[in-house]
Amino acid sequence: MHSRENIRNIAIIAHVDHGKTTLVDKLLQQSGTFRENEQVTERAMDSGDIERERGITILAKNTAVTYKEFLINIMDTPGHADFGGEVERIMKMVDGVLLVVDAFEGCMPQTKFVLRKALESQLTPIVVVNKIDRPNARPDEVIDEVLELFIELGANDDQLDFPVVYASALNGTSSLDPEKQDENMLALYDTITSHIPAPTEDVTLPLQFLVTLMDYNEYLGRIAIGRVNRGVIRQGQSVAVMTREGQTKQARIEKLFGFQGLKRIEVEEAGAGDIIAIAGIKDINIGETIADPANPEALPVLKIDEPTLQMTFIVNNSPFAGREGKWVTSRKLRERLFKELETDVSLRVDETDSPDAFIVSGRGELHLGILIENMRREGFEMQVSKPEVIVRVENGVKMEPIERLLIDIPEESMGSVMESLGSRKAEMVNMVNHGNGQVRLEFLIPARGLIGYRTNFLTLTRGYGIMNHAFDSYGPLVGGQVGGRHQGVLVSSENGSSTLYGILSIEDRGILFLQPGAEVYEGMIVGEHTRDNDIIVNICKEKQLNNIRSAGKDDTVKMKTPRLYSLEQALEYLNDDEYCEITPKSIRLRKKILNKAERERAEKHRKMAEANS
């Protein structure tokens, strides 16, 4: 058994894009964990397809490096607040954190979010000022910002006395001096080993292990990952599993794995303070305790932030249903959503009166968007409704989620952006002028006001604006309409293929969402109207041919570029009476009621009901 003195368990936390995953890469490469000739991919920790494409971390991952006589377990966590459930659980597994902050951008909303979680868990922090080689880096000011943030979050004296390492993760360099860099990561390794405490748990007490992460493998089934809180665990040992509901089941440890680099290595036993993976327990879930059968004691169940956004997932019933997807039935949809609950603790799935519809609640648009993207890649077809915030009632008062929004914009866009946020009930709490033509504004805004705002924001700042937001708190429900779409839409009246002639005849009515030759059905949304009402259009119209040669010949006609939506943009665009149809190859917007006459009748009923109430 290793001495506990030589183990260090740390998590790397930061705002999105401040370089956590790249930093882990360099720590891995320089620790001698890989052989000289071994090929290591860039951002080796981001293993999912979507993670690689978008350059973001979604699931927390763990790895281990050896440095001198130390074994350093490193947890890479997501930066997006949408994946806060992942960050929160990781804090239970480590004794210290590396807070990575960009040397130019400084503290951002998610920096605050992840740091609060770390300080609440009484962890020892080290601050890494990354991207020190940026031309406009301002390390001293950034350290001041970080110190202010620590004080604001109520850090204790020991936590305030944090060491600072200056680094460039991309170049693999670090030092304790902001002016010059050493050509390696030794300054960071030494700070970790000297400053982060070793685990203090007792190896002699009865076993306790909290399941913090789940993995799945076709050969081994479910794999529970976590930290041994006390005692020793061995292969082949009989254990008690204590479920969230308070029941106790007997089980046996089939296999035990430790971590080395990106590999799992089989180990015979592990002791308190070790981070390990356990295979062979069938129905184990996150948050459950594995304990000594003679003396079973459960650890406190993990507290996870509540979801703030919900959408309805519905079986695809459009005229094009079943053309592209493998999985189209409600049984398959239900199975898949409930399977996701096993590994994603921040997600909730509720069944409705209809067997074809499920209410899925998550931490934000990105959280739900990534679930949908994964499902369509697996061959699922479905429809989803507009994302809605979850309103809670506390002491008889309706409360809604409020987000903290941080935006960096050019000075000249300030007026128009503030006006647009004012109409969405945002309240400005801070403003910093960097003096380089850029202004940073901080707002508190109802989460409803942010749905669908990103596209508008990019238009107002001509693409130069950067916006970040994180959940702040629940506040009293703001009255009146907040956010939402002001434009009406163009709705197809026919089933068929769109023609160039049909498109040109309605082009002056608004912006189109599709190319000529695209298949459409009645009730499908084909464009945005210039006014605030919906209109019915025939986009499949053919030109009537006769034998008289027309004066204006057709061959020079140019069509305007259509606006094509990504999945997130389509979800943000939806209105209450619309669905987004998602299949492995297509994303279509449609009205909930496809037939025009039926739609008008439903609208009439709705207005009558409103008038009566």
Question: Contact at 8 Å (CB) between 609 and 603?
Answer: no
* pLDDT tier, 422 (very low <50, low <70, confident <90, very high otherwise): confident
Kind and range of the H or E run holding 193: helix 186-195
Q: Is 21 annotated as a binding residue?
A: yes
Residue 47 has a pLDDT of 40
Instruction: State residue 453 phi and psi, 5-degree precision.
Output: -85, -25
With 70 as the cut, is the pLDDT of residue 52 above it? no
Query: Which range has the worst mean pLDDT, 36-50, 157-171, 498-512, 556-570?
Result: 36-50
As given in the structure block, the two tokens for residue 576 are 């209450």
Q: How far apart are CA 151 and CA 219, in angstroms?
A: 49
pLDDT tens, position by position, 382-411:
899 988 888 888 888 888 888 888 888 888
Model pTM greater than 0.85? no
Q: How far apart are CA 513 and CA 528, in angstroms?
A: 8
With 80 as the cut, is the pLDDT of residue 164 above it? yes
Q: How far apart are CA 13 and CA 87, in angstroms?
A: 8
Q: Is 133 annotated as a binding residue?
A: yes
Burial pattern 53-72, b for ≥16 Cβ within 10 A else e, equals: eeebbbbbbbbbbebeebbb
What is the DSSP annotation of 53-81? HHT---S-EEEEEEETTEEEEEEE---SG
Helices (H) and strands (E) in the chain, counts: 15, 35
Q: Is 106 annotated as a binding residue?
A: no
Q: How far apart are CA 466 and CA 553, in angstroms?
A: 46
pLDDT tens, position by position, 493-512:
888 888 888 888 888 888 88
Q: Which of 304, 446, 444 lies closest to 361 in space, CA to CA?
A: 304
For the CA atoms of 480, 460, 106, 124, the dihedral, rounded to the nearest 10 degrees, stands at: 40
DSSP state letter for 423: T
Report the first-to-last Cα separation within the chain, whole angstroms.
72
Q: How far apart are CA 444 and CA 451, in angstroms?
A: 14
With 80 as the cut, is the pLDDT of residue 160 above it? yes
Residue 40 has a pLDDT of 41
How many Cβ atoms sit within 10 Å of the Cβ of residue 37?
5
pLDDT tens, position by position, 15-30:
666 566 677 777 767 6
Q: Is 132 annotated as a binding residue?
A: yes
Residue 82 has a pLDDT of 47
Burial pattern 346-377, b for ≥16 Cβ within 10 A else e, equals: bbebeeeeeebbbbbbbbbbbbbbbbbbbbbe
* pLDDT tier, 85 (very low <50, low <70, confident <90, very high otherwise): low
What is the DSSP annotation of 214-261? EEEETTTEEEEEEEEEESEEETT-EEEEE-TTS-EEEEE--EEEEEEB
Kind and range of the H or E run holding 454: helix 453-460
Specify the higher pLDDT residue, 422 or 452.
422
Question: Contact at 8 Å (CB) between 6 and 42?
Answer: no
Residues forming beta bridges with residue 224, ordered by sequence position: 214, 278
Residue 383 has a pLDDT of 92
Q: Is 554 annotated as a binding residue?
A: no
Q: Does domain 392-476 fall into CATH 3.40.50.2020? A: no
As given in the structure block, the two tokens for residue 157 are 């004296």
CATH number listed for the domain at residues 208-291: 2.40.30.10
- How remote is the C-alpha of 477 from its chain's centroid? 25
Query: Which range has the worst mean pLDDT, 176-190, 399-413, 592-606?
Result: 176-190
Residues forming beta bridges with residue 512, ordered by sequence position: 527
Q: Is 20 annotated as a binding residue?
A: yes
Question: Contact at 8 Å (CB) between 209 and 10?
Answer: no
The domains of the chain are located at 4-195, 208-291, 392-476
Specify the higher pLDDT residue, 117 or 399.
399
Q: Is 126 annotated as a binding residue?
A: no
> What architecture is domain 4-195?
3-Layer(aba) Sandwich (3.40)
* pLDDT tier, 305 (very low <50, low <70, confident <90, very high otherwise): low
Residue 59 has a pLDDT of 41
Rg (CA), the chain: 27
Q: Which amino acid is at 472?
A: D
* pLDDT tier, 358 (very low <50, low <70, confident <90, very high otherwise): very high
Q: Is 275 annotated as a binding residue?
A: no
| Average confidence (pLDDT) over 534-542 | 83
| Average confidence (pLDDT) over 212-220 | 73
| Average confidence (pLDDT) over 462-481 | 78
Residue 501 has a pLDDT of 83
Q: How far apart are CA 85 and CA 340, in angstroms?
A: 14
